Structure 1
Amino acid sequence: MRHLTRRNLSFSLAAAAVWATAGLLSPGAHAQPYPNKPIRLIVPWPAGGSTDVLGRALGVELGKQLGQPVIVDNRAGAAGKIGTAAAAKSPADGYTIYLGTIANFSVAAAWEPSLQYDPIKDFAPVAYVADSPAMLAVSSSLPIHNIKEVREYARTAGRQLSYASAGEGSGYHLMAELFKLQTKLDLLHVPFQGTPPAATAVAAGQVDMTFDAAGLKPFIDSGKLRPIAVTGNERWAFVPEATTFASQGVNNLEGNSWFAIFAPSGTPPDAISKLNGAINKSLSSPELLTVLKANGYIPVGGTPAALGSMVAKDMAKWKDVVQQGNLRAAK
């Protein structure tokens, strides 16, 4: 009887071990709900810049919604391409997300066929965060106040007008080329290394005009640049004195800079869904809205599907501009 009890006990312990092991291996049996650890947000631009400011403000609110800290990881270099490539190669587990921009997706794909990442295949769309209208501004020394006067000055100046950009292949370089295609104006491109030197050259009268966005605001406020037009269907509250291109007869000139959250391709759908909901809730936060307004951003939000559709159309548009403008062979 004593021997039988030991056998029974041995069998019971073995059975318990089997069931415990089976329980541990059952999907979701003891899984903690997502997220259960900090999330890394890769920002492919330097700390302190406007995109970094947006990423950090979003990260704070997103952390509140998710109950886990969102840690910003600045991976600057190569006009944002280094950070984008790093994000594409990150684990697709929901714990690495990425702040993508028009520059690193649509424009980069149009300008550089040999990117180290594929904006469509390597990323899963999560949520459209915000955008910012593009703006045409001229040197305040010029007798130009609207698109009609741009055309007139180009006809009578006796020279080719010039425009400055933040760099060859930058978003605002392609925006200016789209403007040229729409207006049939012959403009000389003068590239610089970033917005500040480009705007400074226009403010000094060395170049006639420039396309950019919120980065021109200090030059406009100081009276050195004059805003002429903005993209979009209505005036931009950040620079209310400028009317839209469409209202001045230049239609189909859309080129808002967009900012959105993506995850590495293969990230679990439930993680993407939870991130999307948290981002949309964050965009109603008074604290985040204050940061967006102060930096000229317009909150957007929406579904992953809507973001994916927007990006695909945007990429096709800028590839078409590169091809029509004979700028560089697009893939």
Structure 2
Amino acid sequence: MIQKYASKRPFSHIQRSLIALFLGASMITPLTALAQAWPAKPIRVIVNFPPGGAADQIARAITLPLQEALGQPVIVDNRAGAGGNIGGDALAKSPPDGYTLLLTSGGLVSINPAIYPKMSFDPARDIIPVAAAARVLVFLEVKPSLPVKNVKEFIAYAKANPGKLTYASPGNGSSPHLAGEMFKDMTQSFSVHVPYRGAAPAMQDLLGGQVDFMFDPGIGLNHVRAGKLRLLAVGSPKRSPLFPDVPTLSEVGLKGFDADTVFGFYAPTGTPVAIVTRLNSEINKILATQAVKDRVAGLGGEVAPMTPAEFGAKAHEDTARFSKLIKDRHISGD
């Protein structure tokens, strides 16, 4: 009946336009429609290190203003362990709908694939960069009872006492761990690495004297000011404005020493471009606020706004920078 009517009464121009509009709307993918409505519920930000560490502090500094900008709660979910891989796996297995993000150090993407041969996910395939957050420096700090007053004395002491010193890190493959291995390599000394499940517990044992030194990602600087730790040098290409009189390791003879890393946000692969673009824009606006600049500066770092492409390129650059050290020092995630 309909076919017979249609054959005798061709569709008008208006009818054809309406049909085309209907067909076009019906071809919108679910993810595209989702992006248009996003966000319609709370957003979870996985932090793959314990509370209190640099990653956790950076995440909390950004998520509060982010939820105000998006009009939905943004909840921090700490998933520590396996050098950050537990949190990375949780992100990789999440729906690519913009409601699950990850705040991590750059090591998850640029270092872990080289030291963990059997990761449960592939960072290059399963997650995508959204927005860089902060460039985090590392500070060489020792317990006050160590009989050294400056970095030259510390290097001489470490070389004269092979295997007697211990250093803490947030875990295998973290930038503080690689800083320690870089230090050992460049000074031809040997100290014992003690990995922890995050920077906060590592710092607690340094304060308690259970370990001798640490390349701190900034969480112990208040303890330095209080005289509970001794800051000897900065393991970065330039001095920290917080401690302008403290030299870099490069300045005292370890030429080119650079253990900095960039922390930032990632999403599951397949997350709509519109959502990634919106998140990048909002996070970069937040990084430009004085409150967040001050919070990151309190860790001795600096905000690092980037496009997703720039953030991805930085991860590739860091992969090349650390790969030789990982190979030469036989560093593994075990």
TM bracket (short chain) = 0.7 to 0.9
Secondary structure of the 1:229 match is: strand
Correspondent of 1:133 among 126, 134, 137: 137
Does the aligned pair in 1 maintain the 2:168–2:214 contact within 8 Å? yes
1:229-271: CA deviation from partner (whole Å, max 9, x where unpaired): 1133332234445221122121222112421111211223233
Does the aligned pair in 2 maintain the 1:99–1:262 contact within 8 Å? yes
Which residue is 2:3 aligned to?
A: none
Which residue is 1:52 aligned to?
A: 56
Which residue is 1:69 aligned to?
A: 72
In 2 relative to 1, CA 317–34 (structure 1 residues): closer, same or farther, beyond 3 Å?
Answer: farther
Secondary structure of the 2:220 match is: helix
**Pairing 1:165–2:165 present:** no
Does the aligned pair in 1 maintain the 2:47–2:87 contact within 8 Å? yes
Please list every run of 5 or more consecutive structure 2 residues that lacks an aligned counterpart in the other structure: 1-7
1:194-222: CA deviation from partner (whole Å, max 9, x where unpaired): 44554455455554322222232243233
| Structure ID, larger Rg | 1
- Amino acid aligned to 1:263: A
Does the aligned pair in 2 maintain the 1:34–1:271 contact within 8 Å? no
Please list every run of 5 or more consecutive structure 1 residues that lacks an aligned counterpart in the other structure: 1-7
1:19-51: CA deviation from partner (whole Å, max 9, x where unpaired): 7743641549x9573634244323233455542
**Pairing 1:35–2:38 present:** yes
- Where does 1:1-331 land on structure 2 (aligned, <5 Å)? 21-22=22-23, 24-25=25-26, 27=28, 33=36, 35-38=38-41, 39-47=43-51, 49-65=53-69, 67-79=70-82, 80-155=84-159, 157=160, 160-166=163-169, 169-171=172-174, 172-192=176-196, 194-196=198-200, 198-203=202-207, 207-328=211-332
Identity of aligned residues (%): 31
In 2 relative to 1, CA 197–328 (structure 1 residues): closer, same or farther, beyond 3 Å?
Answer: closer
In structure 2, distance between residues paired with 1:44 and 1:327: 20
- Amino acid aligned to 1:153: Y
1:123-179: CA deviation from partner (whole Å, max 9, x where unpaired): 111221102101111222234233322233235x45544132136514122221111
What displacement does 1:307 show?
0.9
In structure 2, distance between residues paired with 1:40 and 1:311: 23
In structure 1, distance between residues paired with 2:150 and 2:223: 18
CA RMSD of aligned residues (A): 3.3
Secondary structure of the 2:108 match is: helix
- Amino acid aligned to 2:248: T
Does the aligned pair in 2 maintain the 1:109–1:319 contact within 8 Å? no
Which residue is 1:4 aligned to?
A: none
